[in-house]
Amino acid sequence: MVATPIGNLEDITLRALRLLKEVDLIAAEDTRHSRILLNAYNIKTPLISLHEHNEKERSTLIVSRIQEGMCVAYISDAGTPCISDPGCHLVHFALENKIRVVPVPGPSALIAALSVCGFPADQFLFCGFLPPKENKRRRFLESVKNEERTLVFYESPSRITDMLKDVFDVLGDRQAFLARELTKVFEEIRRGRIADILLEPSVGKTKGEFTVILQGALHKPVLLTDDEIQEKLLQLWSEQSISLRDAVADVVRQTGLPRKKVYDLAVKIHPVSDRN
């Protein structure tokens, strides 16, 4: 599974280039699109298409070729296969047939955008493309309304305005980061509150898919006395068989209180032998 550039053709690894030349066959999401990359590096390996509409049928064919002794690489149109791109069924079918599947890492719009968005990326929730219908889209947004991790979405230019309006209505006027055409000549990055971005006249009138990153939910700390904190901890231990560390993490997540404070109070009422 070979990652390919999301725009700039120079963003491909030496390993990827070597393997694309060495394999017996390249399966590609769009052979016409992939031919541009292969021609740029004088790669003559035979191509076969494998996209969302023929993936099951072609996976059977490709696995049979591998079983006959071929080495096959798969590339999607841009970025890393299977990340909101075809390839998952091929990988699953290959693994079912005891075939070794090797990742050849490289570009991904998801990771590229996270690296420059300015929001915490030690934990994030990648949601892919939101449902195209408004009612389903809003229901999904309701389900992540209280998510404190950074939220990442992909969205098409035709739906970006409707998506941002729903985000504003359901999640509020959060800080947002929008990236389009990353690494390309007309790369565009926008930062700011959703309300301000929606006021920009060019939103929704451009080409190229968007990577949308939203600040996670911000919760103000709940004011509790030490006794109330310890009561919450004792309740968790009475209802669930969890460690001191997990109980502390649960209370911190619920209340927004400093971890050290909760941990120090937990130690006082929990057996020393079970601290981990």
Residue reference for tokens 């390309």: 184
Which of the four CATH numbers 3.40.1010.10, 3.40.50.10190, 3.40.50.720, 3.40.50.620 does domain 14-96 have? 3.40.1010.10
Give yes or no on whether 14-96 and 120-214 have one common fold.
no
- Highest CATH level, class, for 120-214: alpha beta
* Cβ-proximal residues to 219 (8 Å cutoff; 6+ apart), any chain: 146, 148, 256
Mean pLDDT of 81-100: 96
Query: pLDDT for 115-130, tens place per residue?
Result: 999 999 999 999 999 9
pTM over 0.85: no
Which residue, among 274, 245, 270, has the nearest Cα to 260 in the 3D structure?
A: 245
Instruction: Provide the residue ranges of all domains of the chain, joining segments of one domain with +.
Output: 14-96, 120-214, 226-274
Give the pLDDT confidence score for residue 272 in this predicted structure: 53
CA 175 to chain centre: 18
pLDDT tens-place string over residues 168-203? 999 999 999 999 999 999 899 999 999 999 998 777
At 91, is the pLDDT very low, low, confident or very high (cuts 50, 70, 90)? very high
**Residue among 20, 107, 89 at smallest CA distance from 53:** 89
